[in-house]
Amino acid sequence: MRPKNEFLFWTRTRESVPDGPQYLALRDQIAFNIEMGDLPPGTRLPSERQLQTETGSARGTIREALSQLEAEGLIYRRDRSGWYVSPPAVTYDPTRWAGFMTYVTEQGRTPGTETLSKESAPAPSAVADIFRVAPGTTMHMIRRRRMIDDRPVLVERIIVDPALAPDLLSHSLDGSLTQILTSHFGINVTRNRVDMHPCALVKEAADALGVKSGTPGLLVVRTSFDGEGRVVEYDQEYWRHDAIRVHVDLNVR
Amino acid sequence: MRPKNEFLFWTRTRESVPDGPQYLALRDQIAFNIEMGDLPPGTRLPSERQLQTETGSARGTIREALSQLEAEGLIYRRDRSGWYVSPPAVTYDPTRWAGFMTYVTEQGRTPGTETLSKESAPAPSAVADIFRVAPGTTMHMIRRRRMIDDRPVLVERIIVDPALAPDLLSHSLDGSLTQILTSHFGINVTRNRVDMHPCALVKEAADALGVKSGTPGLLVVRTSFDGEGRVVEYDQEYWRHDAIRVHVDLNVR
DNA sequence: CGTTTCATATGGACTAGACCAATAACGGCG
DNA sequence: CGCCGTTATTGGTCTAGTCCATATGAAACG
């Protein structure tokens, strides 16, 4: 059941858009049903053509409404299979020093990790700039896919300087990378930088997540520094935009 | 000039989608031009019908590409006027104790505030729950619109408990509210909670921002607490999703 | 019972129109 | 010069189709 968001009371109701366009009316009706719990997560919506005959609207109009709901994260599509009600998003707190495994588990969900590739390769100039090494320096590059309840939610590309973690790639990377860096290589992260913004999922990421290229996503870029200010780990995470929510709880002074 | 994002090297290039659908090809072409700086912020794109004849695609296809770019925050629409290249987003750091006026100015932009309405009214039950007062208790409710470089970027609804700030509404609210609460009422905020997630702009918010209802937006909910754990201020901000970016820089330990 | 084959339904992509409402440009008027 | 009404242009919305690739499930097969 999608948890009722206690913060919302500006919710659009059926009455508040009496004369809106058709696609918004349909959006509202579906959204209403989802929020009421009549359509639990994972439920498949009627097919577009079915909605077409039910509502009497053209298919383009139907798809407009569905795309809208997709942008809001209420539903998602499975290619040539149908539209499904989204599971609740996990809450991510960038101020907490907790890895994916930790916070997903804490929220009663089941995390999963899959290493897609790992290699040591020369750094492109953009990467070299970030690590402040010479272009062409060999770096560890890891691609992983991470799941929540068996649904792929993000694909990430991690880069680590071999100078700090030489034989990193010989370890199993299907768990917590942070864990390995700390316990095996004695790396002490003292600073963490996180940057988030909406993006379109590029083909590479979209394929790995099993969504169509161009789907809206959220790019989370994390950079970790050690005590000497060196970049320890650089991580680009491409999230399904409906799978993550940001929450910060901050004590001042 | 849209600042080149130093973090991106998974950028989609023209070659990386050789056989993609037409609308993605058009998306790529426009995105490429924007990122190269050929289309500076504020530039108006050719009209949909113009693009139609230029590309030979149907209008629906053109609009698909434009909607895609809108979802990424690269362009925005002005109703019945045209599509324009978005100005750069401001960076918001929820861990910093800085108000809108401060961080917008720091980033070389010009902030603006407009009070849409202010009133004292009985609290609906959802609001009463948050403040832990009896439903129907009179609360201060403020609606404001905030601009960056004269472009409306957010509309907010603020609720303040009159028990803590009795004659708040007699002050000018076109500046920093935090400032007033601190200096006039001696309120000491010690805890701040921020929650962010994508949403569709409800009619009320969309109208105030001059966008069409249902446009993708970002809802930022901020709750401030004082030393005794009382809720001082509750604020729902509906942002244009292309106007804000989240950045957290965190020192561990 | 497991595997393969195949028909069907589905979403993905696209076309070629239509009508409307609001904007913006223009031209005339005071 | 500024104001106002007219008009062309623009995006907003919608229709009614077409063709395609593939996910899915049922039927046939081994």
Angle, helices B59-72 vs B48-55, to 10°: value is 120
Q: Which of A114, A242, A128, A250 is nearest to A175 (CA)?
A: A114
Q: State the average pLDDT over residues A63-81.
A: 94
Q: In which band, very low, low, confident or very high, does the pLDDT at B20 lie, cut at 50, 70 and 90?
A: confident
What is the 3-class SS of A138-167, one letter each residue? Answer: EEEEEEEEEEECCEEEEEEEEEECCCCCCC
Tell me, what's the pLDDT at A76? 96
E strands within chain A? 75-78, 82-85, 90-92, 111-122, 138-148, 151-160, 189-200, 216-226, 231-240, 244-251
Residue A243, burial from CB neighbour count under 10 angstroms (0-12, 13-18, 19+): buried
Instruction: Give pLDDT, residue B18.
Output: 54
CA atoms within 13 A on the CB side of A205: 26
Strand C positions closer than 7 A to protein CB: 9-18, 21-24
Using one digit for the tens of pLDDT, what is the confidence trace for A229-243?
999 999 999 999 899
Distance between CA atoms of residues B215 and A26, nearest Å: 15
Minimum CA–C1' distance nucleotide for B46? D10
Rounded mean pLDDT of chain A? 89
Confidence (pLDDT) at A215: 82
Spell out a b/e string for A130-149, using b for 16 or more CB atoms within 10 Å of the CB, else e: bbebeeeeebbbbbbbbbbe
pLDDT of residue B253: 62
Which of B62-66, B70-74, B170-174, B215-219 bottoms out in mean pLDDT, i.e. has the lowest? B215-219
Least confident of A32-36, B8-12, B47-51, B55-59: B8-12
Contact between residue A189 and residue B242 where contact means Cβ atoms under 8 Å apart: no
**Which pLDDT value is given to residue B6?**
43
pLDDT average, residue stretch A126-146: 94
Using DSSP, state whether B201 is helix, strand or coil: coil
Look at residue A216 in the predicted model and tell me its pLDDT. Answer: 80
Question: Which single residue is written with the structure tokens 């079915």?
Answer: A50
Neighboring chain B residues of A195 at a CB cutoff of 8 Å: 7, 245-248
pLDDT of B246 strictly over 60: yes
- Give distance CA A25 / C1' C20 (Å): 18
The pLDDT tens digits for B180-235 are 999 999 998 999 999 998 888 888 888 888 888 878 788 999 999 999 999 999 99
Per DSSP, the residues of A77-110 read EETTTEEEEPPPPEEE-TTS---HHHHHHHTT--
Q: CA A29, CA A11: separation in Å to the nearest integer?
A: 13
Is A94 in contact with A239 (CB distance < 8 Å)?
Answer: no
Residue B118 near residue B173, CB atoms below 8 Å: yes
Tell whether the model's pLDDT for residue A1 goes beyond 90: no
Show Cβ contacts of residue A241 under 8 Å, excluding neighbours closer than 6 positions: A73, A198, A216, A217, A218, B198
User: Taken in order A244, A247, A248, A249, is the CA torsion positive or negative?
Assistant: negative
- Sorting pLDDT into bands at 50, 70 and 90, what band is A253? low
pLDDT at B84: 97
| Closest of B95, B86, B91, B110 to residue B30, by C-alpha | B86
Contact B60, B68 (CB under 8 A): no
Please say whether the beta carbons of B72 and A199 come within 8 A.
yes
Q: Give the whole-angstrom CA distance, residue A95 versus residue A191.
A: 11
CB of B237 closer than 8 Å to CB of B144: no
- Rounded to a whole number of angstroms, the distance from the CA of A14 to the nearest CA of chain B is 12
Residue A181 has pLDDT above 90, yes or no: yes
> Would an 8 Å CB–CB cutoff place B94 in contact with chain A?
yes
Give chain B's mean pLDDT. 89
Task: Using a CB–CB cutoff of 8 Å, tell me whether A252 touches chain B.
Answer: yes
Q: Quick: pLDDT tens for B41-59.
A: 999 999 999 999 999 999 9
Q: Return the pLDDT at A3.
A: 36
Tell me, what's the pLDDT at A14? 42
Q: What is the pLDDT of residues B111-153, one digit of tens each?
A: 999 999 999 999 999 999 999 999 999 999 999 999 999 899 9
Give the pLDDT confidence score for residue B1 in this predicted structure.
40
Q: Can you give the distance from the CA of residue B82 to the C1' of nucleotide C24 in angstroms?
A: 11
Distances in Å between the Cα of A234 and the Cα atoms of A161, A185, B193 are: 9, 16, 27
Q: What three-state secondary structure class fits B84? A: strand
Chain B residue whose CA is closest to A21: B213
Nucleic strand D near CB of residue B52 (< 7 Å): no
Q: The pTM is what?
A: 0.87
User: Does residue B212 lie within 7 Å of nucleic acid chain C, judged by its CB?
Assistant: no
Contact status, residue A249 vs residue A233, Cβ threshold 8 Å: no
Q: Which two tokens stand for residue B26?
A: 């058009």
Question: From the candidates B29, B195, B207, B241, which should be mutated to test the interface with A, based on the most A CB atoms within 10 A?
Answer: B195
Report in angstroms the alpha-carbon separations of B144 from A41, A236, B199, B219.
35, 36, 19, 15
Percentage of residues of chain B with pLDDT beyond 90:
75
Cα–Cα distance between B200 and B30 in angstroms, integer?
25
Residue of A197 and A18 predicted with greater confidence: A197
DSSP annotation of B44 reads B
